[in-house]
Amino acid sequence: MRPSWNEYYMDIAETVKRRSTCMRRQVGALLVLNKKILATGYNGSPKGLRHCNEIGCMRNDLNVPSGERHELCRGLHAEQNSIIQAAMHGVKIEGAHLYVTHKPCVVCAKMIINAGVEKVVFKGDYPDRLSDNMFTEAGIVLERYEDLEQKGVAAK
């Protein structure tokens, strides 16, 4: 059976996350506009730096709970990397939909809002209520992937 557009995009985000070098949570992201894939991203250290799976994770060593103390992570999040990739290649993402394997944190939410992303489709949860509040206040649609599939909502 042919996958829906939402399933197609989330499957690609799931594949992208396999490139992640994070020891705690692998995340993949995909920016889409008018059924065209604009950019992808996964979580990992900045270009040219050693990855956590090579040198260890400071957040693990300090027992930092998920959703807290983002500044202690040497990696970029998948959402950040997808926005950066689009910017590096001069790709306008205003009005795009972001498919991401986990709900964005507040740091990513702020970037997503300022980048002009219109909708975020996520699969797994992430413990960050402030990001939910910011998306609501900004008028950005935040939808759980499984809910879209149940309703049969078509992708943009």
Catalytic residues: 79
Q: How far apart are alpha carbons 72 and 120 in whole angstroms?
A: 25
Report the binding-site residues for Zn(2+).
77, 105, 108
Contacts of 117 (CB under 8 A, 6+ apart): 31, 93, 94, 95, 96, 97, 98, 140
Nearest Cα residue to 19 out of 37, 38, 45: 45
Q: Which residue has the tokens 């078509």?
A: 154
Six token digits for residue 13: 């985000």
